[in-house]
Structure formats: C-alpha cells, structure tokens
Structure 1
C-alpha cells in the first residue's frame, strides 16, 4: 500500500483533498491538529510530532494512506512516502480562500496574510523541488485532484 503526502500552502486545498480521498477508501489523516503537531522553538514553529508521525507511517496497512500537511520538519519524513503531491494555486486565490474559510482561523489577521505571501515566495519553491506531482487547484476541483492522485496509485 502506498503512502502519499499532500502538501502545499495554506488555502491550496490539502484538507479538502485528503477528506475526499478518505471518502474514496484511503486511510486519510489531516495532520493540522494538536494530535499530530506541536509548537517548537523560539519563535514558535508548528511542527509534526515526530514519534506520532513515525508510528503512523510505519504502521502496516491494508489500504493506501493519504497524509495532508505542510510543516517545516516534513522533509525528514519524505523517505516514508511513495508520493509527495504538491497542491498549488496563484497567490490571490490562496488569499481569497483563507479569507473566506470558516473551519480554520489562520490567515484572517494581517500578519498571517503577510506570512502566507512570504511562504508562497520562499517555501512553495522548496516544496515543488521535493514533489513527485503538482496539481493546480485553481483549475482542478477537489474531485479532479482526487481522481488524478488515485490514477497515480493504480498506474
């Protein structure tokens, strides 16, 4: 069974795609919660809890696993993933999405929006280098992205 990381900037659709893959039969884990992440260092950085992620990724499975998230320490886990899927969209689309979403407060404050712009310029190019596939969620629906990810699993 394959392990897939779904990563990208805030507002790219990671959680939505992960949820859709779960509906379609994959084991799906959205890691943007206290169960999977913790604040580390100064200034505080929201990182994956290493023991929990290792346990998740090392557990034998009967179904493929989709993990969504974007954390500064995710690179140390890349070897455990068969695929690293980058979800991307133009910056203006990402900012519109985080402003409109109701299930996550991140991106509402001016300093958070500035952070998103900075991450778009500095972090997304790094994510792109490590990705095995990239899908633009400004032109593909959640369902279409899930179709393409599942197509990669079977082909």
Structure 2
C-alpha cells in the first residue's frame, strides 16, 4: 500500500487534510506532533523513528499519509510512493495562519515574514521532487478526493 508524503508551507492545510483523512479511516501521521522531529537545532525528522514507521507500514497493507516539511525529508523521498505538495497563494496562507486556532505559529509579524520568505525560498525546492501539487484553495472535498486517488482509493465526497 502507498506511503504518501503531504508537504507544503505553513498554512497550506496539511494538518486539516490529515485530520479529515484520519476521520475517513486512513492512517495518518502529522510529524509536527509527537516525537517525530528533533528540534534541538533546525527541525529535522528523527530518521530512526520515521524509518521504523515506514518499515512497519510496509507490512500493514493500508495507505499511510505522512505530513511534514523539514530540511531532511529528501532522505526519505525514495520510500514515498507519492510526494504531494499542498500549495496556496501567500495571501491565502497568511489569512489562514492569522485565523487558525490549533497552531500559534504565524501570529506575529516576524513569523509572518518568515512564512513569506520560506514560501519564496523553500516551496520551489519542494515543487521539484513533488509527484503531485494540489492547490488548497479548491473545496476541501476535492483535495481529499485527489489524495485518496493517489492512495488508490475511491472518492471521499460521499463521506465528508
């Protein structure tokens, strides 16, 4: 079964999409939560933990969606069946981070400036290895259906 990376900049909807995929019965891991990231310096995936997760999943027979954006994610690109870049224009991203309640990042001017800079500098680096790009301005059900299709599953429209 497919192992799918869902990546993108802050505010593109990674956590929202993963929450909804989980509600629809998919196995999901949002690496922003838990012990997946070593935050002692630049945030990096803990390669031992992520490697174990993927190895365990390969025996499970179910699709797995992993969300995150970290500097060392390329180490795992060969182990993902799909690398999906979620994207949105910077104005949309800034509106989302200003209004979200589950994540405080992006509320200060300094953090918003970082989001703008990261989107200009890092998003193009993510676009290169992406096997699919989904514009998250479209209806959420359409985003979910595209992700489900990449996992080899039918549309989720009737269940969301």
Using the size of structure 2 for normalisation, the TM-score is 0.89
1:151 is displaced (CA, Å) by 1.7
Q: Give the Cα separation in 2 of the matches to 1:135 and 1:77.
A: 21
Structure 2 stretches of 5 or more lacking a match? 154-160
Aligned to 1:88: 87
**TM-superposition CA deviations, 1:95-151 (whole Å, max 9, x none):** 11111111001111211111111111010001110100001111x122211101112
Matched, 1:32 2:58: no
CA-based RMSD of the aligned residues comes to: 1.3
Matched, 1:17 2:13: no
Q: Give the Cα separation in 1 of the matches to 2:133 and 2:127.
A: 8
SS state at 1:84 partner: strand
Aligned to 1:49: 46
Q: Give the Cα separation in 2 of the matches to 1:152 and 1:12.
A: 18
Aligned to 1:136: 135
Q: Is contact 1:31-1:69 (8 Å) kept?
A: yes
Q: Give the Cα separation in 1 of the matches to 2:151 and 2:101.
A: 32
Q: Where in structure 2 are the equivalents of 1:69-108 lying within 5 Å?
A: 69-108=68-107
Regions of 4+ moved over 4 Å: none
Using the size of structure 1 for normalisation, the TM-score is 0.92
The farther-off stretch of 75-84 and 143-152 is 143-152
